[in-house]
Structure 1
Amino acid sequence: MNRGTTDERLLPAVREACLGDARPPVPPRPVIGQSWHRVRLRGVDPEKGGSSPPLPADEVEQRRQRSPLAALLGQLHEGLGSVVDIERHLMAVTDAEGRVLWRQGNPGVLRSADRLGFDVGASWAEELVGTNGIGTSLVERRPVQVRSAEHFVRTHHAWTCAAAPLHDPRDGRLLGVLNVSGPAQAFNPATLPLVTAVAKLGEGELRARHWESVERLRAVAAPMLARVSGRALVVDRDGWAAAVTGMGPVGRVALPKSVQAGRAWLPSLGLCSLAPLPDGWLVRLEEAPRGELVPNRVVLDVRGPRRWTVTVAGAAGEWSQELSPRHAELLYVLARHPGGRSAAELAADLFGDASRTVTVRAEMSRMRRTLGGVLGHRPYRFADGVEVHLLTPPRGEDLLPPSTAPVVLTDRGRLPV
């Protein structure tokens, strides 16, 4: 038995004890125990689970067409072919909400999955069907294997699943989950490392395709910018710079969620004018009255279980951006401490270790490149004159579910349950 695992024969007794608030023969793995705690608070039935109506076929098709993962299906299946075809398992790919968009595998296993509602269009979010590879990986934002009776719902105990999240390398956005499921007694312990590796290869393919598109845009942008006076740059639809003029090198500009032609305030650049290009945007920096460049309102929204946003507003307009789990944690701490936090204090807040200042400074540097007009430093804080609104979930247990930061764990206990 590997260190940190539980003998599979003990899992039913561990589950029964934990669900009955008794002392288990051995503790569950932390990732499983935390998931059980979350879904119990959600009121999921441990015998039958819950469900939501599957998406209609046209909605599934629309989500497939919008998903960057559609281009990876062949590669994902090729990487997992030995498991799916030879080991008689199934492969599923979901979106970021846990909705199954694609599914393939052994016909007999597919029929068994149908009886559990594990079909295309179904949701396997943790809050609906309890602890499972897909839903728990979405919450944890990392690879997860759930073995037999580690599933919260009893009807899932004949299965074991291994899942890994898939992120968009352009902006770190969670795209969905790659999952392999099969009969618990036939599941290979090496499946989780394989699924994780194939997911990383898929992300690498997306990254390579993205840089190819940036190079194509650069070939068009360079001669265009040669005719532009002042400071300007050409970015792709995701804000990655293809060429610049009149200014230093730029990696990526965080664009608003809904980009429109015209004047826009971008936290990293200030007031700009945006003009559409076939594969991106021409961004020209403008001079503006002093007050117009200063944002005066920030809304940090951490109410959702998997997606969190920051919205910045000022006289020049409004800008919103989705946040990574780490940046959501950092901004949450700064919103809770208007007077600011030192690097050591933030390290203690996030890691329980005040010495991890290098990590904190690196993350804050990344955020300040995006939110330059909003964040100050020495100490780290929201800038003077910026009105900050923090939107938290109504239930304490729903506050930044993936986070294990000490400050978040403490605050979960302070919010209503």
Structure 2
Amino acid sequence: MEMTISDQAPELEPAVQAGDDPREFAHVLSAVHDAAMSGGRMPARPRPVIDDSWQRLRAVGLDPDTDCGADRLLEFDELEERRRRSGLAEVVEDLSRNLDSLIDGGDNILVIADAAGRVLWRSGSPRVLTRADQLGFIEGADWAENSVGTNAIGTALVSGRSIQVFSAEHFVRSHHSWTCTGAPIRDPRTGDVLGVVDVSGPAATIHPTTLALVHAVARLAESQLREQHHRRLDCLRAVAAPILARSPGPALAVDVDGWVAAVDAVSPRPRLLLPRGVGPGRRFFGTLGECDVEALPGGWLVRVAESTGMSTTRVVLRTITTAAGAECVEVAVEGPSGGWTHRCSPRHGEILSFLARNRDGATAARLSTHLFGVDDRTVTVRAEMSRLRKRFGGLLMTGPYRFADGVDVQAR
């Protein structure tokens, strides 16, 4: 009768049970892997989640002796764009803080990957990062299952569950000296997977409680994302309420992703599907027809259009002196249904003023040169532009950075 490594696959199944000898277990797994890859009789059956992964990878013809990872890196600009679009940037610091206990010893690294398995962020001691470098386990690398075999990032994405992968459970032999534990992070609004948080290190660092901790931290991150979403909608609702009260017809206030904060004379709904490239002006919405779109802080006012007229958004930048005697830029956004103002930090005011003077737009390098006198501070520029776009929604566009077409911008 065959020995069975694990006949059950509960939601949280550590690769090694408490009391097991990891070295002995790694030896068994190595024999199982060798037999599975050669088509021989396995001395034990791998866990179902591992067996399913191996079967998928054999079906696509992945070579267990392949070198993986480093030849599929993202360019820096694409990596920055993926970080921005991942939906995970707001919880990176919390994930790091909550998993410090696993990283502080210097043997493990923390990795955050997006929904496609691309490594977006990682942190850890120089010693373990150097070991990870040798595997190509670096920022921008493709760690999807079809690319690098069974691993806690790619296999968590395929299976949709938190998973721990130990030693020769990895499909690719060069990963057998490692253990990794990953948990998917889902968008609390839609249930879609945003990415994976992973803790990886030398195989000897395996511990059965790591899986429960990483899983719990991923759930906490989802809760934080939910709370942040609710706070943003509350802020948008507070600004939109008096504007909706003055609106001449049916209207909605939605955030930049179309989630509804408030409605007036429109049937309630959780989300409005936004047309591609939505911006101020008249746009067609599938469920509402022609609508006039105006900018709100962090979103849009969508008014069902009347038979004539067209919504125009005007942005006025004014340099004012505060009560403390400091100069700052006040941004006034005005539309047919009303307006709102926002006082910017000096840096944000300088960026907006520069873009107002250069309506064709500016690259991150050009903005870096304007702000800092050198063209290599692009990471800082992108971070600042991300914050500005959250505040001003679709008034600011990328590729290059610029005010949206059709917005009347004045600097005074």
Scaled to the shorter chain, the TM-score interval is 0.5 to 0.7
Q: What's the offset of the Cα at 1:44? A: 1.6
User: Are the equivalent residues in 2 in contact too, given 1:49–1:130 (CA < 8 A)?
Assistant: no
Q: What's 2:98 paired with?
A: 79
Task: Give the aligned residue type for 1:191.
Answer: T
Q: What's 2:302 paired with?
A: 283
Partners in 2 of 1:65 and 1:22 — Cα distance?
47
Q: What's 1:224 paired with?
A: 243
Question: Are residue 141 (structure 1) and residue 165 (structure 2) matched?
Answer: no
> SS of 1:264's equivalent?
strand
- Deviation by residue 1:27-73 (Cα, 9 ceiling, x = unmatched): 22221111111222222210124343322334323333444322222
Task: Give the aligned residue type for 1:36.
Answer: W
Q: What's 1:15 paired with?
A: 33
Partners in 2 of 1:272 and 1:25 — Cα distance?
67
Task: Give the aligned residue type for 1:219.
Answer: A
Q: What's the offset of the Cα at 1:272? A: 4.4
Partners in 2 of 1:163 and 1:274 — Cα distance?
45
Question: Are residue 233 (structure 1) and residue 255 (structure 2) matched?
Answer: no
Partners in 1 of 2:37 and 2:237 — Cα distance?
58
> SS of 1:226's equivalent?
helix
Q: What's the offset of the Cα at 1:2? A: 7.1
| More divergent stretch after superposition (163-172 vs 101-110) | 163-172
Q: What's the offset of the Cα at 1:3? A: 6.1
Q: What's the offset of the Cα at 1:257? A: 5.0
Q: What's 1:174 paired with?
A: 193
| More divergent stretch after superposition (5-14 vs 140-149) | 5-14
- Deviation by residue 1:323-352 (Cα, 9 ceiling, x = unmatched): xxxxxxxxxxxxxxxxxxxxxxxxxxxxxx
Partners in 2 of 1:95 and 1:19 — Cα distance?
29
Partners in 1 of 2:245 and 2:104 — Cα distance?
55
- Deviation by residue 1:335-391 (Cα, 9 ceiling, x = unmatched): xxxxxxxxxxxxxxxxxxxxxxxxxxxxxxxxxxxxxxxxxxxxxxxxxxxxxxxxx
Q: What's the offset of the Cα at 1:85? A: 0.8
Q: What's 2:48 paired with?
A: 30
> SS of 2:68's equivalent?
coil
Task: Give the aligned residue type for 1:61.
Answer: E
Q: For 1:359-370, what aligned pairs fall within 5 Å after superposition? A: none
Partners in 2 of 1:158 and 1:233 — Cα distance?
55
Q: What's 2:65 paired with?
A: 47
Q: What's the offset of the Cα at 1:274? A: 4.4
Q: For 1:331-410, what aligned pairs fall within 5 Å after superposition? A: none
Q: What's 1:296 paired with?
A: none
Q: Among residues 271, 278, 284, which one is paired with 1:264 in the alignment?
A: 284
Q: What's 1:108 paired with?
A: 127
Q: What's 1:399 paired with?
A: none
> SS of 1:225's equivalent?
helix
Q: What's the offset of the Cα at 1:215? A: 0.8
Partners in 1 of 2:268 and 2:44 — Cα distance?
55
Q: What's 1:291 paired with?
A: none
Partners in 2 of 1:45 and 1:196 — Cα distance?
30
Task: Give the aligned residue type for 1:32.
Answer: I
User: Are the equivalent residues in 1 in contact too, given 2:7–2:48 (CA < 8 A)?
Assistant: no
Partners in 2 of 1:130 and 1:106 — Cα distance?
25
Q: What's 1:347 paired with?
A: none
User: Are the equivalent residues in 2 in contact too, given 1:274–1:281 (CA < 8 A)?
Assistant: no
Q: What's the offset of the Cα at 1:287? A: 9.8
> SS of 2:44's equivalent?
coil
> SS of 1:133's equivalent?
coil
Q: What's 2:342 paired with?
A: none
> SS of 1:194's equivalent?
helix
Partners in 1 of 2:144 and 2:7 — Cα distance?
28
Partners in 2 of 1:35 and 1:280 — Cα distance?
42
Q: What's the offset of the Cα at 1:159? A: 0.6
- Deviation by residue 1:177-235 (Cα, 9 ceiling, x = unmatched): 11100111221111111111111111211211111111111111111111224432111
User: Are the equivalent residues in 1 in contact too, given 2:82–2:120 (CA < 8 A)?
Assistant: yes
Partners in 2 of 1:262 and 1:135 — Cα distance?
42
Structure 1 pair 256–188 and aligned structure 2 pair: CA distance change class (3 A): farther
> SS of 1:263's equivalent?
strand
Structure 2 segments unaligned to the other structure (5+ residues):
9-14, 17-24, 308-412
Task: Give the aligned residue type for 1:99.
Answer: R
Structure 1 segments unaligned to the other structure (5+ residues):
289-417
Q: What's the offset of the Cα at 1:286? A: 6.5
Q: What's the offset of the Cα at 1:175? A: 2.3
Partners in 2 of 1:262 and 1:14 — Cα distance?
63
TM score, norm. by length of structure 2: 0.64
Q: What's 1:126 paired with?
A: 145
Q: What's 1:254 paired with?
A: 273
Question: Are residue 192 (structure 1) and residue 211 (structure 2) matched?
Answer: yes
Partners in 2 of 1:262 and 1:18 — Cα distance?
61
Structure 1 pair 209–28 and aligned structure 2 pair: CA distance change class (3 A): same
Task: Give the aligned residue type for 2:250.
Answer: R
